[in-house]
Amino acid sequence: MPLLGLIRHGETEWNRLGKMQGHADIPLTEEAHQQLAQLAPPPALAGAQWFVSPLARARQTARLLGISDAIAEERLIETDWGDWQGYTTAQLREELGAKFLENEGKGRHFRPANGESPADVIERVQPFLAQIGARERPVGTVTHKGVIRAVFALAYDWDMMNKAPIKLTWQAAHLFDVAPDGAVRPVEMNVPLDCKS
């Protein structure tokens, strides 16, 4: 089974402010540029074929990590936050009150207004996983929190209703084995990025 590595993009100004970015094409901060320029993918992903979300923050992260040949893959784009893009969770809780809390309790079926649920992201990503499972070479991706959580939910059979089985850190790689049918199995989460020598 080929190894799949998922790396989240570096920090943006909207990340700092806690805003839901979705498909908004927000660039990395200058601090993220400096930080990522010192890092590289972990040794476990040596020789991997790389894919990247088409959004600027992911493409910038890949370049800064020294990944020059990543293929843009639309299915790796962030969750579509629909009408909630640009809002913070606190703003939505205040504006929507009980309706937002009820929606939060739906786990994989939590859906922003006119946006995607985690279940939608899982459905979008599964054909890509099946393509990876047919390969022998490791695959690395630079993507988004929503996509990583979707793959993580599949690997751990997590319904997103309760606390995640493992707390994920975001400046790290998350490694999975992928079966020929696209099923994923956890290998190691929170693998530190390598330091460039």
Separation CA 120–CA 136 (nearest Å): 27
Separation CA 138–CA 175 (nearest Å): 10
Active site residue 9: yes
Q: In the sheet that 3-8 helps form, which strands lie side by side, from edge to edge?
A: 71-72, 49-52, 139-143, 3-8, 172-178, 184-192
What tokens does 128 get? 């890509």
Return the percent helix, strand and coil in the chain, to nearest 5.
40, 20, 40
Three-state SS across 139-188?
EEEEECHHHHHHHHHHHHCCCCCCCCCCCCCCCEEEEEEECCCCCEEEEE
Active site residue 144: no
Phi and psi, residue 13, nearest 5°: -60, -35
From 11, 78, 116, 174, the catalytic residue: 78
Annotated catalytic sites, by residue?
9, 78
